[in-house]
């Protein structure tokens, strides 16, 4: 839930699982692009930014989007923890005000 994540404040690394085009158009400030399509190129960049035990929150375009769950699962398989999926995705972020 977005309100919970926002309460964590700076102790969050946002991960945008959408396409590069969507990310470049708009994304959560400070979010890193990490999608399955470009995983091999983007994952090393993610590792450069990630601090172990930092909360990672993955989002995609909407509540119906599965990309964030897929990226979160791949992160967990690569020993990244804790990893959360933002319920409602980018749509929830845009409607937060």
All structural domains of the chain, each given as residue ranges with its CATH number in brackets, are 2-94 (3.40.250.10)
Show pLDDT as tens, one digit a residue, over the chain (97 residues). 666 766 676 789 999 999 999 999 999 999 999 999 999 999 999 999 999 888 999 999 987 789 999 999 999 999 999 999 998 888 888 887 6
pTM of the model: 0.90
pLDDT at residue number 73: 97
pLDDT at residue number 38: 96
pLDDT at residue number 43: 98
CA 43 – CA 66 distance, rounded (Å): 19
CA distance to 19, 33, 85, per residue, from 14 (Å): 15, 9, 10
């Amino acid at each position: 839930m977005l309100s919970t994540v926002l309460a964590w404040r700076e102790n969050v690394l946002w991960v945008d699982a959408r396409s590069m085009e969507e990310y470049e158009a708009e994304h959560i400030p400070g979010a890193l692009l990490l999608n399955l399509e470009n995983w091999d190129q983007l994952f090393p960049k993610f590792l450069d930014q990630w601090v172990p035990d930092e909360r990672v929150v993955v989002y995609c375009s909407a509540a119906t989007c599965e990309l964030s769950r897929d990226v979160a699962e791949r992160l967990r398989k690569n020993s990244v923890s804790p990893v959360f999926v933002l319920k409602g995705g980018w749509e929830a972020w845009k409607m937060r005000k």
